[in-house]
Chain A
Amino acid sequence: MILAKRISLYTVLVICAIIMMFPIFYAFSISFMDGGEVMGGQLLPSSLSLDNYLEVFQKVPLLTYLLNSFVTSAIVMIGQLLVSSLAAFAFVFMKFKGRDFVFFLFISTMMIPWEATMVPNFMTIQSLGWTNSYLGLTIPFFALAFGTFLLRQHFKTIPQELYEASQVAGISRFRFFWNVILPVSRSSLITLGIYSFLTNWNMYLWPLLVTNTESARTVQIGLKQLQTQEIASDWGIVMAGVVIVILPTLLLLFAGQKKLQKGLTQGAIK
């Protein structure tokens, strides 16, 4: 590439990066400011004081919220990996009556917007007594058509001979699934794992419905609470909360961006 073209490309890239990253940078910057600096409309803090970070843990039980979010995201991640991989395995390696029909059912779940069913789902969780518990926050999300399709896509690349060989060797189907298929599909499982952790950490509407106690809330609802209660007084503290909440997922995304991009495109297109 000629130099002039290269320079102009870098210029455009840098400008775009500044615009796109500005809100995140702004949040970091404000999280270090005291009240006066925020009101003065400064872009950069005068010092990197951690006061806001200490204070946000006093204002709301953020540690509990973080723990709740972490535990529910981890449970959903494991649940989705298990349930989806079992189903994907059946679709790829087994032939039986009714399989195509079930496949159609899986596809049709993708056309039912989750928000259209939230009222009866809420009633179900309530009648099961699962409000304010990890059960209500996790179990409804274990089955995932998208995850099943993504894994199915990868399982299809595993040579059928491997399966036939295992049958000749007399290995049970489940052991074949557990000891052969899952280990060789590690990268797809990691991709789906990252995706499901991200989406569940960031979930908003469902935890808003099924939790109403401080001990059960997740961080996203904690942010809403923080914002409603601190809004007029202290943006610095609110932004410190924001930074704490986005840091884990940003790091996860930075680490897994390549895998995620590959996996999402595969699951989506092919």
Chain B
Amino acid sequence: MNDSRDLQPVPPQESRRPKRNLFAFLEGWLYLLPSIILFGVFVFYPMFRTIYLSFFLADQMGPFEFVGLENYQYILSSDSFQSSVKATILFVLYTVPAGILLALFLALLTNEKIKGIGIFRTLFSSTMGMSVAASSVIWMFMYNPSIGVFSRIAEWLGFPAIQWLQDPDYALLAVSLSTVWMNAGFAYLIILGGLQNIDTHLYENAKVAGVSYLYQLRRITLPMLSPTLFFIVTVSFINSFQTFGQIDILTKGGPVESTNVIVYSIYKDAFINNDVGSASAQAVILFFCVLLLTALQFKLGERKVHYQ
């Protein structure tokens, strides 16, 4: 993402031949045209349209009354939006660190060269092939208070049965746990790839020097892995802000809005309550959160990350 630097500048001698230059210009744009049109219609236009709609009272037919910042005032003061912000932040905190640590742990385990490791690599990456809908249905069964496996374990250990998805104290945790599992495959695959890119000479030298595994981990593996970790942290943050499927299937934002994360809240306002103005205002807030997060991580990451 940060490689705009290595784009070669247009060499000056070409500008002396205006005709050829014009042709190159047109041909270049022709190759980019499909992308530009599609991005224009399905990314940039709707982004501006969302900002525009956020200043109006609107339904699915379009805007009907300009209200300025009223949508923003309304959502910022509404309890529902506040609980949605709280749910989103908690959800991000529950899922991102745990998910990355789990993936890192599994990747370190399977970075050893031993017999049969390929099988474990395949198994650990398998959740990447699982859709959110399918995974959610499976977890829904596992959380079933009477026959699900979690209740069985709780019962076996002598704990009272918990209504995982119906209890406002546990629902978000339950959804988060299932999300950590769902996202593990992708994060694992990325981190394993990063580990395998590390120059093996570094480890050979460490072996000669006879340093401990933990020292090696702290001084070689993690620093060399930092660009990968930096990438996966950014992507995981953005992904978890965009969570929708598991909420829709497992809890529908309930109970008492404890799992009403931002994208679900946008969806509900736009397509169920038919309040497109409020949905747009929330979408704009989501947009700025993601933008801020990406910018912040780039700024912080640039300094701390060790590039080879």
A 118-133 binary contact with B (CB < 8 Å = 1; else 0): 1111111000000000
Number of A-B residue pairs, CB cutoff 8 Å, is 291
Determine which of B39, B127, B284 lies in contact with A143 in the assembled complex, contact meaning CB atoms within 8 Å: B39
Binds B, one of A50-58, A92-100, A161-169: A92-100
Does B132 reach chain A (CB closer than 8 Å)? yes
Question: Are B129 and A99 in contact, with the CB atoms below 8 A?
Answer: no
User: A18's closest neighbor in chain B, by CB?
Assistant: B123
User: B14's closest neighbor in chain A, by CB?
Assistant: A95
Q: Interface size (A, Cβ < 8 Å)? A: 95
Does A116 reach chain B (CB closer than 8 Å)? yes
B 274-299 binary contact with A (CB < 8 Å = 1; else 0): 00100110011011001100100000
Interchain nearest-CB distance for A260 vs B (Å): 6
User: A21's closest neighbor in chain B, by CB?
Assistant: B123
Does B121 reach chain A (CB closer than 8 Å)? yes
User: A249's closest neighbor in chain B, by CB?
Assistant: B129
Q: Specify which chain B residues have a CB less than 8 angstroms from the CB of A39 in the assembled complex.
A: 147
Determine which of B124, B241, B244 lies in contact with A17 in the assembled complex, contact meaning CB atoms within 8 Å: B124
Question: Are B245 and A109 in contact, with the CB atoms below 8 A?
Answer: no
Does A38 reach chain B (CB closer than 8 Å)? yes
Question: Are A112 and B194 in contact, with the CB atoms below 8 A?
Answer: no
Given contacts A105-B39, A264-B193, whether A253 and B181 have CB atoms under 8 Å apart is no
Does B92 reach chain A (CB closer than 8 Å)? no
B 243-277 binary contact with A (CB < 8 Å = 1; else 0): 01100110000000000000100110011000010
Q: Specify which chain A residues have a CB less than 8 angstroms from the CB of B284 in the assembled complex.
A: 116
Q: Interface size (B, Cβ < 8 Å)? A: 100
Q: Specify which chain B residues have a CB less than 8 angstroms from the CB of A87 in the assembled complex.
A: 31-32, 34-35
Does A102 reach chain B (CB closer than 8 Å)? yes
Given contacts A98-B29, A269-B194, whether A124 and B248 have CB atoms under 8 Å apart is no
Determine which of B125, B194, B291 lies in contact with A253 in the assembled complex, contact meaning CB atoms within 8 Å: B125
Does B220 reach chain A (CB closer than 8 Å)? no
Give A8 to B52 CA distance when docked, in angstroms. Answer: 60
B 57-96 binary contact with A (CB < 8 Å = 1; else 0): 0001010000000000000000000000000000000000
Question: Are B47 and A116 in contact, with the CB atoms below 8 A?
Answer: yes
Determine which of A22, A103, A254, A262 lies in contact with B122 in the assembled complex, contact meaning CB atoms within 8 Å: A254
A-facing residues in B97-137 (Cβ within 8 Å): 106, 109-110, 112, 114, 120-135, 137
Does B210 reach chain A (CB closer than 8 Å)? no
Among A12, A91, A257, which residue has the most Cβ atoms of chain B within 10 A?
A: A257
Determine which of A113, A139, A202 lies in contact with B286 in the assembled complex, contact meaning CB atoms within 8 Å: A113
Determine which of A98, A209, A224, A252 lies in contact with B133 in the assembled complex, contact meaning CB atoms within 8 Å: A224
A-facing residues in B12-31 (Cβ within 8 Å): 14, 21, 24-25, 27-29, 31
Q: Specify which chain B residues have a CB less than 8 angstroms from the CB of A257 in the assembled complex.
A: 121-122, 125, 189
Supply 13 further A-B pairs (C-beta < 8 A) apart from A111-B291, A223-B131, A246-B131: A12-B109, A16-B109, A24-B138, A26-B138, A26-B149, A96-B28, A117-B50, A148-B35, A173-B27, A201-B131, A204-B132, A204-B133, A265-B193
